[in-house]
Chains A and B, each alone.
Chain A
Amino acid sequence: MLRTFLTAGILISAGAFLAAIVTADDISARARKLHFSSIVVDTHDDTTQRLLDGKFDLGVRNDTGSIDIPRMKEGGLGAIFFSIWIPSKVTGPEAVHRAMTQIDAVREQVRKHPKDLLLATTAAEVREARKQGKIAALMGVEGGHMINSNLGVLRSFAALGVRYMTITHSGNDEWADSSTDKAVHNGLTEFGKDVVREMNRLGVMVDISHVSDKTFYDVLETSKAPPFASHSSCRAICDAPRNMTDQMMKDLAAKGGVVQINYHVGFLNQEYRQRATPEIAIQLREEVQKHCAGDDEGCQLIEGERVTREFVAQGKLPKVEYTAIIEHIDHAVKVAGIDHVGLGSDFDGANMPFGMEDATKLPKITEALLQKGYSEGDVRKILGENTLRVMTEVERVSRELNGGK
């Protein structure tokens, strides 16, 4: 309790300090050069939901949301993992079908924007995209429920280009416990372990964001390749079950993994988390529902962001600055080491802090890290090289498990 309080206090004052010296238009020439010559990889973007609403165009600059091609270019985002996501409560063939639909939506965007996007399934292809001046589009499946307890579906997802799978989403699936559900499997079931092994063989990264601590440790023990957390922050700073404890981050790092810091205000800031009570959540949902149909996920995420900001303006929720992201990165680096931290924004799927409204703001992260005294090499690692290293290692393990083929 005391620790949490103190951490939050430090966070707020540090945030205020940094915010005073870095603004969107105030990126040093050095930071700009470093940022735009680095491969910036974001391992979690929920933009896929918007691709299916029939109104959204990834190719033009949009007034809403955080991601589109013009803004990715402006923010120097070089590689993006489009998240394939449906709610945990949708299971069985319905889940498989809807996941396929989303995978196609991503692949169609690549077909429609061949000058700007390249579908990448390996670290080498991400680098190749950069060489060609294109953004690497990758895919991650956010929740094991989408394979319908069927390794064949997992293999089909992999064949279609999916390069990570989050073991669960907010609810338990048939074979793994989630961090935000009541534990029923005691971590991973035996089948769950088979899923992890098959992911290793297929070269699909094992993502432990969202899973229960026990599931995390089961994965760590089972996986032959380094797991990663595609979008999780530090529990020591913000005590959300979706975040990782210092010990978990150390153990992840010991296996070569990476924690990709999530920018969601509720995962960054303890005060926000405490004030975002169930009552506030209900109010928020009711406001959103006034403007969105029940199943329009794309609308809900955009409206959710707008209403949240209204609540902040009304003083119902605290204002969280983007500098909180830097605090989490810095904490994770101190705990797990510079080789084990990256970026997993949760753009278009979460409430962004002030100053990190969209992908155009990403150079501020580079600027802030340089100001904190990080070396250029270290900043590059955080921006994307660590993730590319995990991908390369996952590919090597896959080749090995396939008998060198």
Chain B
Amino acid sequence: MTRFSRRFATCLCLCAVLLAGSRLSAPASADDVAERAKKLHFSSIVLDTHDDTTQRFFAKGYDIAKRNPDGHVDIPRMIDGGMNAIFFSIWIDGRIMGPPAVQKALDQIDAVHENVRKNSRDMVLCRTAAEVREAHKQGKIAALIGVEGGHMIGNDIHVLRMFGDLGVRYMTLSHFYNDEWADSSTDKPVHNGLTDFGKDIVREMNRQGIMVDISHVSDKTFYDALEVSKAPLIASHSSCRALCNHPRDMSDDMIKALAGKGGVIQINYERSFIDQAYKDASDKLTGGVVAQFDLFKKECGDDQECFGRKMAEKQKQAMEEGKLPHVSWERIIDHIDHAVKLVGADHVGLGSDFDGADMPEGMEDCTKLPKITEALMRKGYSDENIRKILGGNTLRVMEQTEKVSRELQAQ
């Protein structure tokens, strides 16, 4: 099924390239494309909706202002890669709940604020699409905040609103585990999607102008959120299930339904979400993404550096032993292209999962992002559509979310 889909998708791609090519008066030379792509990339707002770099703020030795030998994101590399808008993810283990979850989330929100404040020449905290555009005009990186998991509000709508007031602009309804009011895609369902309180949370997010993020949630939770939300939803970091059958990814039907309501799927670069062979091998090796997560969690506790190191070591070893296949960054393009074929260029964006996932070869860090622009250009995507995918679509959802919020607050 998957193989068929992929072949089908490849065929569609080829057709698109041919079609796009025929529209051009003369085929551009390779160097022309590289040059044009570079120009396009570095003049666009490149907005990544999911980066786990926040965790690194708490690690010794990490400085976002300097070029770091490890990880995927820091200011010098963002500048190199033209990544000028970033959602810092606020994340803690989904099994931490109640006031301790609230406290830890606040610590991370503060860490983002503090890092932005200390690097105010390069970064500015943004809450609206207009502020992101303004940051771009000033040549600064737009820093935004997303909360990755509803468990962090401590089952309390007051806390949700306070996160909103502190600048949080999306909340993922669950993480790996169900929370008190929503089922996760990687846990046993207990709520049948969203509970009534969960629906109130979505309504309140609409009212506060916080984007509803359906990455990580169960399919039923997704459809419940889609029904309840008055604003378009986003999947901040999910890829296509048709190409890689992972519960963290979205089925074609889901992507269509999301787009039908004006939303955007932000493609995740994690190897096991974009490559079926890798996912299968990885599952066999570790028992799946959550089991793997739990294993490292047991060994490392809250030490994120240890977590990252163990994960990299284990992966390197498995690769060397031939237990895990290679995954090329071009799989990201496949997923983008699949989603675009399915729902059009208005509903696809980028949600790397940098600093929180295993990057495919060729996308080792954010300096490699211009390759996406070039690859899409070579596929025949128009400049306008590429800009949409790079960030324009997300900005549109932000604007729409802000509009819904204004309307609801005026009621």
Contacts and interface: CB of A to CB of B under 8 A. Distances in A.
Contacts of B158: 100-101, 104-105
Interface string A80-101: 0000000000001110111011
A98 B99 CA distance: 8
Given A105-B158, A107-B161, A111-B409, A100 B102 contact: yes
Contacts of B110: 152-153, 155-156
A98 B98 CA distance: 11
Contacts of A111: 409
Interface string A363-405: 0000000000000000000000000000000000000000001
Contacts of A107: 161-162, 165
B111 interface: yes
Contacts of B162: 100, 103-104, 107, 160
B111 A152 contact: yes
Given A92-B99, A96-B99, A107-B161, A153 B156 contact: no
A328 B339 CA distance: 73
B161 A96 contact: no
A101 B103 CA distance: 13
A159 B161 CA distance: 13
A164 B292 CA distance: 46
Given A104-B159, A152-B107, A155-B113, A93 B166 contact: no
A153 B103 contact: yes
Contacts of A156: 106, 109-110, 166
Contacts of A100: 102, 106, 158-159, 162
B4 to A, nearest CB: 51
A295 to B, nearest CB: 15
Nearest to B120: A405
Contacts of A97: 98-99, 102-103, 154, 156, 159
A296 interface: no
A37 interface: no
B114 interface: yes
A85 B159 CA distance: 16
B100 interface: yes
Contacts of B114: 152, 155
Contacts of A150: 103, 107
Interface in A186-217: none
Interface in B135-167: 154, 156, 158-159, 161-162, 165-166
Most buried by B among A96, A97, A148, A160: A97
Nearest to B207: A111
A108 interface: yes
Interface residues of B, number: 22
Nearest to B167: A159
Nearest to B165: A160
Contacts of B107: 150, 152-153
A201 to B, nearest CB: 11
Interface string B152-187: 001010110110011000000000000000000000
Contacts of A153: 103, 106-107, 110
Contacts of A103: 162
A152 B106 contact: yes
A160 B166 contact: yes
A97 to B, nearest CB: 4
Given A101-B156, A103-B162, A104-B159, A93 B99 contact: yes
A103 B106 CA distance: 14
Contacts of B166: 156, 159-160
Interface string B377-411: 00000000000000000000000000000000100
A93 B165 contact: no
Interface string A150-190: 10110110011000000000000000000000000000000
Contacts of B109: 156
B179 to A, nearest CB: 16
B102 A96 contact: yes
A148 B99 CA distance: 12
B103 A96 contact: yes
Looking at B98, B154, B158, B409, the one whose CB has the most chain A CB atoms below 10 A away is B158
A192 to B, nearest CB: 19
A152 B162 CA distance: 15
A159 B99 CA distance: 19
Given A156-B166, A159-B113, A159-B166, A96 B106 contact: yes
Looking at A93, A105, A148, which has the most chain B CB atoms within 10 Å of its CB? A93
A227 B156 CA distance: 34
A94 B97 CA distance: 12
Interface in A94-148: 94, 96-98, 100-101, 103-105, 107-108, 111, 148
B111 A108 contact: no
Nearest to B109: A156
A160 B120 CA distance: 20
A108 B98 CA distance: 22
A277 B106 CA distance: 43
Nearest to A100: B162
A151 to B, nearest CB: 8
Contacts of B111: 152
A148 B100 CA distance: 11
Given A101-B156, A155-B113, A156-B109, A148 B161 contact: no
Contacts of B99: 92-94, 96-98
B161 A104 contact: yes
Nearest to A155: B110
Interface string B109-142: 1110110000010000000000000000000000
A153 B159 CA distance: 13
B100 A93 contact: yes
A93 B409 contact: no
B75 to A, nearest CB: 19
Nearest to A108: B161
B126 to A, nearest CB: 15
For A107, A153, A156, which residue has the most chain B Cβ atoms within 10 angstroms? A156
Contact of B103 (A108, A148, A155, A160): A148
A150 B100 CA distance: 13
A392 B103 CA distance: 31
A159 B109 CA distance: 11
A162 to B, nearest CB: 11
Given A152-B111, A156-B166, 5 more contacts: A93-B98, A93-B100, A97-B102, A101-B156, A405-B120
24 contacts: A93-B100, A94-B99, A96-B103, A96-B106, A97-B99, A97-B154, A100-B102, A101-B159, A104-B158, A104-B161, A104-B162, A104-B165, A108-B161, A111-B409, A150-B103, A152-B107, A153-B110, A155-B113, A155-B114, A156-B166, A159-B113, A159-B166, A160-B162, A160-B166
Q: Which 9 A-B pairs have the closest CB atoms?
A: A152-B110, A93-B99, A93-B103, A97-B99, A104-B158, A101-B158, A97-B102, A94-B99, A93-B100
